[in-house]
Structures are given as structure tokens and as C-alpha cells.
Structure 1
């Protein structure tokens, strides 16, 4: 799974402004021993990233102006020099920049040994086809004064320089690379491999023991995993050039004493070399690790930052779709991974009242029924986005955000299950037989279904708040505080589907009976998946409302009319109840001849359509006259998509100009 990588505001806005997927472009530097960037001239859009991979000799990426090739421009991008003996295998260190605008960028290699820049080792991003072209820049570089700048030892700036270290490389007891020299400002990323390793900083004199100094050193937990890649990383930023010593604290097979140690910026000769440290580790006492992790560095699971574990083990083996069917007791936490991914765990105190009414029990069970479906749907789909057949669809930043939605949905569901269990009431068993084939046919359909589930949960929660505010006041903060994150996530999905994030000023309230009925009619395959209310009142489960056709007004892209499929044996006049933003309920009649109904022109964004046998009823009584439905429908938005995209592009432009 891949969740949260660093990204700039420009990346996020650029993604939505263009409404396309941001790309990562890889450029090799010196591959095959040649003095060239491949490709030498590329086109990149706002939000794209460009990663430079370094090969034989000792190259760097430096930014110049067009007028003055081979010399670092003021405040220009610089990767730092990256030595590598291999012409075919990239160095473990790479350098990534993010494109914030589409102006031409000019680069070169500043290596003076062989005058790489003057010998044609130049590169451009978004060079024009006429005038100041790439070929013109290359010709100017060949005439540039020597020496090139900056000199070796200059620290990186303007991008992310990252050293990648494999933990347990190829199943062995080793870090790879295990002895490196790196520049200040470099981010060292340790990637966990199968087995059960940890990463702990030590001193040279006491290998296999945590460093003893004020503030301590970095500590990363044990990660038992059999996945390759595991998705678990630990990052440390080099703030000075002092030597750093580290080891794996696993005592089984004595990893540290068996040579699983590493160093950064160790001396190449003298008494404190890497080899001397490794030799000293063979004689060290049993390894230890501090009581808590992570410490100092940044622990991430598929890009999501994990701030604290409350221990020294990160067990990711239980993070699978089975989480959707597991209802933990109130006193039990999910694995730390979930809380870190969600941004926090369930409340430590719900401020439960002295009792709970029967109505509150029924409503909480309905809300849990809806969220059971959402959780299962998210887990099934996200595995495809993260590591399955959809893994190449979205950039990391979007995948990570979707991962947060998975975790937050698990935490949201705890509100209902914890409360029901606290009062000794039954929770709703998770359906083991949802019909998800259609919902998972492709990533766009999955996203649409996720969005529908979010709107169901939000709308039913609003209904619950209305009904329980007086009888069970403790439910108000417990339920209301989860609405914000769900609304933000639905806004994200709206943008991904080429819609305005928030097309209406308020959310849509939907009776909880209709919300559960929607899940039943669309995804329940047998009685085991029936909503809790259906066991008491069979009329609470309604057939799906089938919308056969939509008439869209070309100039406004507004849906003006729908054609429905009238359920068999339905008699009498029929109506469509339109549930719009809170406070809005409108009815239009269904034509008895062609089964059409017009859409009120005051609606915007997503609305719910319900087929009823009567008009003029209140929302609270809607389920008593429902014939079929509900069904969600995007009717229109107040701003054209082109205007919205232009607005975001304008924001990106302003940001770029200010920086």
C-alpha cells in the first residue's frame, strides 16, 4: 500500500487544475558511462515530479540560466554530487524535483574533471521549440567558461535528495548499502524487507546498544513482514556530517553480532572505520532497543506517517480486508498502523449518558450497517489501488489520501460499535457476501460507489442527529465530529470525478431507513445481509430505483429530466422526492405514460431521488410512502468545470509567482 509522500500545495492544486494524473519522469545521469542526461529534453506539467538516477563516475544536477550555462544560478536547484562506480546500476541516492510551473528549466552536470557541461552534458525541462531551444542551450554550454560551479561538497537544494537503504537485503542479515558517505540535507530512507528487523542508532564504542547521549538517537521498530516490498519505511534527515552508526536489534540469530550493522560518513581509515565497527559488533553483548518507537526519524507505512506505536513492534500482517469483518470491543485498539493512517484513534471518552433509548439503539445499528458496507468496499478497492491491478492509476499523494479514508472509516465505525457494546446492545454482524462485482469492475466505478457510500453515511448521520438530539444528547458530539472528515473525503472524490468539490452549501439529509435500504437493494445477496430494521419491519427494505435515462441540457450540463423503471404491480400516482441540501425536499410527478419526471432546477451537486406514492410528506415520514429507492444523482454544479479548473490554475500561478 502506498499512502502519503511529501507533496507541495502546487502538486495538489496542479493535479486538480489539470484534472489529470500527475506523472513521475525518470532521467538517467551518466548511464553507460556517457556524458549525457537521458532523455536530455523533457516536457513536464504542473505537479509532475522528475527523479534523477545517477550512474558511473561522479555526476550532479545543477540549474543554470539559459544565458549562462555551466554555472549555478542564484538560488538554483542542485542535487549534490553522487559518485557511483557502475555504468549500469543506479546509485542508491537519487534526486527528485517537483514542477511548480511550466517555464523552461535549464540543467547541467557541474563535474570539472572532464568538463562535463562543456562536453554536452546538459538537460532541459519544457524548453521551447523556437528561440531559446535545447540545442541552442547545448551549443552555448560548449562555449561556457570553466570551471563549472558549484564545487564538490555543496549541499543539495531545491529538491529531495534521498539515499535508499534496504533492511534485510535479499533475505540476508545486512543493510544495503551498509557503509556510505552522504551530504548534509540528504534524507536516508530505510526500507524493510521480509523477516523481522529494526533500525537503532548506536555509538561506535557500544555497537548493538542504543546510543547514550542527551536526546538519544533514532529508533525504528521491529516489523515482522513477509511482503516484498513491505511498504514500511523509516526516514532520517542528515543534519550534520558526523559519523552515524546503526544496527538491527533482533536477538534471534543475533542480527547485530552477525554483521547487520551500518554506517554513514564513517572514516575511511584509522580506528573508527565501518569495518572496525562491524568487527566490534561481533563481540558485543545481546542487542537491546529502547521502550518506544519511532524516535527522531519518520516511520511510514505506504507513505503514511506513524507518529507513535506505544512499543517497539509494528505488526502490519493483520492489515488486510478481514479488518472489515472484525468488530473490536471498546477497550481494544486497532493496530497502531490504523491510528497513524487515520490521524488518530477512537475517542478515549465518548461521554456516554446513563442509558440509551431503543430508538438510539436502532439508529446506531443502522449507521453501523451502512459503515460496515463502506469499510468492506474501501478495503477491497484500496488493495487494488495500492498494490493490485489499479496500482498505476493514481500518483502517490492521491493513493495515500485514499488510504487515510480507509483508516478513518474504521475509526468512524467504532463510534457505533463502541457505544452499542458499552450499553450491552447487539452490534450488526458484517455481511460476508456483499455483491461487489459491479462496484469493483474498474477504479472509476469503485470511486463512484465509495462516494455514494460516503453520502449515505453523511446523510444518515444528519438524520440521527436530528432524531436523537433530545432523547440521547450524548450522541450529538460523538456523531457530529465525524462528519467533517467524511465531507472532506467526498470533496476529494468529487474533484477526481471532474466535479466541484462542494457543489452545495449543505450536506443532504437522508432518513436512515432509506440509507440501509439502499445497501440492501444494491449489494445484499441474501438474508444475512439484511439491515437490522428489516428483521422487525419488512417494509423498510425497498427495491432499487432504476434510472433508465437522463436528459442533459447541453449548454449548462444540467440534468433536467429522468426516466425511471416503475416497479411491477405499482398502482396509483407516483412521485419523485428530491432530497437536496439540508432543508430542501421537493416533489415532482412521474408521468404515467412514459415514466419521466423533471428535475427541479434549484438543485445542485449530488441529490437523492426516491420514488414515492404520495407527495408533500416530511422527510421524517418519507419511508412510509417510499416505493423504490433511494438513488443518487449528480444534477449539476453552479460553476462550469472549465471555470473551476481555471480558478485552480490561477491559484497555482499566484503561488509560483510568490515563491
Structure 2
């Protein structure tokens, strides 16, 4: 739940924000009141407000531990102030709030969160305020107990301006710059050199964007009351020299903002630090972007179009790094050569990575605000899916970096045949592809360790992240997050068969395994008292003379077999979570030999309930 306090034509410590459920107007139409005057909030909710008091002393700051936004003058009765102040509601006890300007509190400019319905009610609080002594505020006048943010638009409506450009904010305030088209920076300078970066100053880097709003912000913290000068370093169009400058706490006389602007108009060409971001926090759609060795920042969105982009070994995409929490491997220690088996497995891993990226990217888009599945899951879950997509993109570099380094073929993207998904089908598909990848990587790691030992760390260290991804999806499906203590190893031939059967219509490049076996349909039948699956029905196209068996690939690298009779088979004991079933012409063979005996499959089935 979010709560809006809108400051309108009242020189009070009140604010304006956007929220989902409640609007609270403050001083609307010059009235000294909050509308509504009370709200009910839960733990973890946020509120944007002024000064916290107590029931017994309505117009005085809380003696200790209270919040204070500091004052935010507003000259309009219809437009919100640019400054907001956010607190978090940590409990359901009453919170009492007042405006500390003049006698506003005594005239009823009060608010309460979670006031009791009897006893110390809001009406009783208001009556106490009428007889209270003069209002007071914390003596230093600085914000405390919450986060004060002053918002500045960069290049709004195509203008070469910061809006506002003459900012007055106390220490402890965060100034948040929001970027608009086409390509601007926020870079700290000095009064004497308006268009040159100051030593140890902040810089967002150049932010190219075609969107307005772009979702890209750069935040700095005001540490003291000294003037802070800044400019846009875009040299195309000489933005700084044309007046795209600003100041925080510029003096009213002497070195004023106007004097700074005049100096900028005569300044030499702008320059920019070689790295970004510096001295602040750069976010793209809430994702914090790391510093890179470039003055131009990549803020590309997380979209399916990223699948086709394959960076060179060691290169990083700044947005993906921020979203994933890390980037490409920098110390590969490549071997002197690469085996044919490693090339084949890496190409299959890239092939499967592309399918996973297709599913996760499209799912992330659909779960976000405005998507077809918006509001089904909380924002934390939605952004976790985005992080999973970014991490999968980084993981793909294990294959593409290695193939490029040894001048081997990097696969082109296939034409997909993934059916239209609802939310349940999306979760099932994402989980299936993840478990296929985990099984393939385990199989590849064991196979390639003797011939390509340099590859093992890169493959093995991705397994933890992929297993965490499956746990997230398990929970979204209301399953246990970790159904078995180990993962299932799946031979590469079977991974290829499943992917071609379910997700791909054609590919421009051929892999080592070019003849998938028949697709297997499998349905569970019956649960025992422990809610474990007892049997399955199996169907596939084609005929086979002789005995048939169902091979079950379980955790621990375990393989079990059961006979098939009249399209039915029992589920062996000792299997947990997700297992993979393959119709075979032989039984009691090793896992590495199952692909050679496969008639149909594989297919994944959940044998542990729920």
C-alpha cells in the first residue's frame, strides 16, 4: 500500500508522490488540512509526510526516534512540489503527524496513520492540538527518519534544460535526475569552469535514450550546504554552452546560477570523465548499473531482442551486469586447444540458453506493469524473473566466449515453436528448460573434465544460480523449493531431442545430434497415502517390436527401470521431485547408454506431491 501526500500552495514540510491506493491532499485550495485525515496502513507500507509527534504533544516533534521531512515550500495550489519524503511503516501502532509551519497544527493541519477508533482517536488528537503551544521542529532543520528526494528532469520535452535548475535542498537530501531524450549527462563542475568535470565529482555519463520517461535516474546525496554546480557534457549541440547547467544551493548574490550560466556560454568545448557512473547511483528501471570504463552508458532494456546480441569475449553489457549482479568471465585461462566434444556440447548449451532466454524475456515483459500478467505476482517476484533472465544471458557467455576464442561456430538464433503461454504454462516451460540445462551442464562437466579441464569451473559455477532459479519457480507453482538434494544428469542427445520436440521449428545451424527420437506424452495416474505418484500412462508415435521399458533419470545420477505394458508403467520407489522418463528398448543400462536405446522421450514428470 502506498499513500500520497500532495503539497499544494502551503509553505510546509509536505510533499507529492505517486501511489497505488490512497491520495492525501495537503493544503488543497489553501485549506490547512490533510484529505483524508486518517489512514490504515500495514507493516512495510510507505508514507510521505512531515513531522512525527505524539498524541499528548500534537504540535511538537517526537522526543526521540521521530521523522521530519524538513520544509518544502510550494507556490502552487494545483501542482505538486518536486520533493518527496518517504518513511516506512514498521508496525501497526498509531503514528501522529503535524505540519510545523506557523500555527498550521493548531488550526487542524494534522494526520494520523492507524489511529484507534476509541480512546485516543484522531478527533481527540485534533482537539488537543487546538490548545497546544507554538509548533516547533527539530533545531537543525534537517530531514531525519526517512528519505528525502528532490526530483529533477533532464532534457524534458526536448529542451536543453534541467527542470528545475536552481535547486534549494538541505543536507541529507538525495537529488534524483530523471533522463529524457536524446542523450544527456549530469556532471559536476566548478563555478570557474562550468563545462569541465571537477576532480572527484559526480558524473552520470552520457545517457542515450529514445523514451520519455526513460526509467533512467541518477541520484546524488547533498552532504552540506555548499553550492554544487553541474552541467550536461553533450558536445553535439554544445549543451552546456547553450545553458544546460544547474546548481544546488547557489548563492542569491555573487556567484549566482545566472552568473554560472553566463560563464558557461563562453566556455570551451565540454569534457567528460572517461568512466561512469561516478559519485552517485545510476538506475535503469530500478536496476543499479555498475561503473564501466566508458563515458557512454548502455541502458538498453531487458527485451527478447537481446538474444541476438552476442558480445565478444570479456565484453559486458552494462544493463545486464547491473540486472544480473555480475558480468562476463574476465580470467578464462583458456587451454591451448578445445576438443570436438567440448565444441559440440558448448553449441548445444548455447542452443538451449537461447530457448531459456526467449522464455524468460517474454515472461518478464508479460509480468511487468502493462503486461498481460501484470499484478499476478508482487514486484519483488517480477524483478527476480528479470534477474533470472539477465543471469541466463551472462551464463550464455560460457559457450559463446569459448567458441569465439577458438574460432568455432557460434550458433545463429533458431526459429521457435514455443506455444502461446498462460502464466502456468510459462512457469512450467521455464522450469523444464532450466532443469534441462542443469542436467546438460552436469553431463557436460563430467564428460569434458579429462579433455578440457579449463572449462569445468565456468560450467560448474553456473549451476548454483540455475538451481536457485528453479526454486523460485517451484515456489511460484506452490511446490517445495528443493524437492531433492541433488540434480538430475541428462545426456546431451536426450536434451537435444526434447528441445527440438517442444520448442524449435528450424535452425540455420546443425548440431552434432540431428535426429531427435519420438516425442513422449506421459500422464500421472494415482497417488499413494504419502501423496507420491504410483503410475503413469505413456504414448508416442511409432511402433517397436519387443519388450519396452521406461527409464527413470532421478537425482544423484540414479537410473531406474520399469516395464511398459498396454501403455502403462509403474513409478519406481525412491524417486523425488522432478524426474525424466525415456521409453527404451533395453533395461539395466548405464545413463550414458540410454540415448542409444531410446525410442521416445525424454519427458519430465513430478513424482513428489504437492
- Report TM bin, short chain: 0.7 to 0.9
- Structure-2 change in CA distance of 1:96 and 1:224 (3 Å): same
2:602 counterpart of 1:630: yes
Contact residue 302 and residue 386 of structure 2 kept, 8 A: no
Secondary structure at the residue paired with 1:371?
helix
Contact 1:110 1:149 in 2 (8 A): no
The Cα shift of 1:167 comes to: 0.7
Change in CA separation of 1:397 and 1:146 when aligned onto 2, cut-off 3 Å: farther
287-296 or 396-405: which moved more?
A: 396-405
Q: What is the distance in 2 between the residues matched to 1:394 and 1:301?
A: 21
**What residue in structure 1 maps to residue 28 of structure 2?**
32
Partner of 2:83: 93
2:16: which partner in 1?
none
Q: In the TM superposition, what whole-angstrom CA distance separates every residue of 1:555-595 from its partner, at most 9, and x where no partner exists?
A: 86654444343434355544443333223333344452xx4
Q: What CA distance in whole angstroms lies between the structure 1 residues aligned with 2:146 and 2:572?
A: 51
Please name the residue that 2:309 is paired with: 326
1:208 aligns with 2:195: yes
For the residues of structure 1 that align with 2:258 and 2:511, how far apart are their CA atoms?
A: 66
- Report 1:275-424 matches (<5 A): 275-316=258-299, 320-330=303-313, 333-386=315-368, 389=371, 390=373, 392-424=375-407
TM-superposition CA deviations, 1:573-622 (whole Å, max 9, x none): 44443333223333344452xx4444456443333333334433222222
1:479 counterpart SS class: helix
Q: CA deviation at 1:220?
A: 1.1
Question: Residue 10 of structure 2 corresponds to which residue in structure 1?
Answer: none
Q: Which residue of 2 aligns with 1:106?
A: 95
Structure 2: gaps (5+ residues): 1-18
Q: Shift in Å at residue 43 of structure 1?
A: 4.2
Deviation digits for residues 173-216 of structure 1 (CA, Å, limit 9, x no counterpart): 1111211211322221111111110111112222122224xxx2
Q: CA deviation at 1:105?
A: 4.0
For normalisation by structure 2, the TM-score amounts to: 0.87
CA contact (8 A) 1:224 1:317 kept: no
Pair 39,495 (structure 1): closer, same or farther in 2 beyond 3 Å: farther
Shift, 1:475, TM fit: 1.9
Task: Please list the CA deviations of residues 21-60 of structure 1 after superposition, one character each: whole Å capped at 9, or x if unmatched.
Answer: xx9655434062444445544444454x4253xxxxxxx4
Tell me which structure has the larger Cα radius of gyration: 2
- RMSD over aligned Cα, in angstroms? 3.0
1:199-238 matches, cutoff 5 A = 199-212=186-199, 216-238=200-222
Post-superposition offset of 1:76: 2.3
Deviates more, 1:380-389 or 1:236-245: 380-389
Provide the C-alpha distance between the structure 2 equivalents of 1:519 and 1:174, rounded to a whole number of angstroms.
52
* Structure 1 segments unaligned to the other structure (5+ residues): 1-22, 53-59, 641-659
Q: Matched residues in 2 for 1:108 and 1:405: separation?
A: 41
Deviates most, 218-227 or 560-569:
560-569
Answer yes or no: is 1:122 the counterpart of 2:111.
Answer: yes
Contact kept? 1:575, 1:587, Cα under 8 Å: yes
Q: Deviations over 1:474-519 (max 9, x none)?
A: 2211211222222223323333333343332222222222222221
1:567 aligned onto 2:541? yes
**1:581 is aligned to 2:555:** yes
Most deviating of 272-281 and 459-468:
272-281
Q: TM-score, normalised by structure 1?
A: 0.81
Partners of 2:35 and 2:483 in 1: how far apart? 44
Q: Does 1:257 align with 2:241?
A: yes
Is 1:476 paired with 2:486? no
1: distance between equivalents of 2:323 and 2:155? 25
Q: Which residue is 2:590 aligned to?
A: 618
Moved more, 345-354 or 563-572: 563-572
Cα 1:192–1:502 shift into 2, 3 Å: same
**Structure 1 residues 330 and 342, CA gap change in structure 2 (3 angstroms):** same
**Pairwise CA distance, 1:346:** 1.9
Residue aligned with 2:389, SS: helix
For residues 235-254 of structure 1, the aligned pairs below 5 Å read: 235-254=219-238
CA distance in 1 between counterparts of 2:383 and 2:227 reads 34
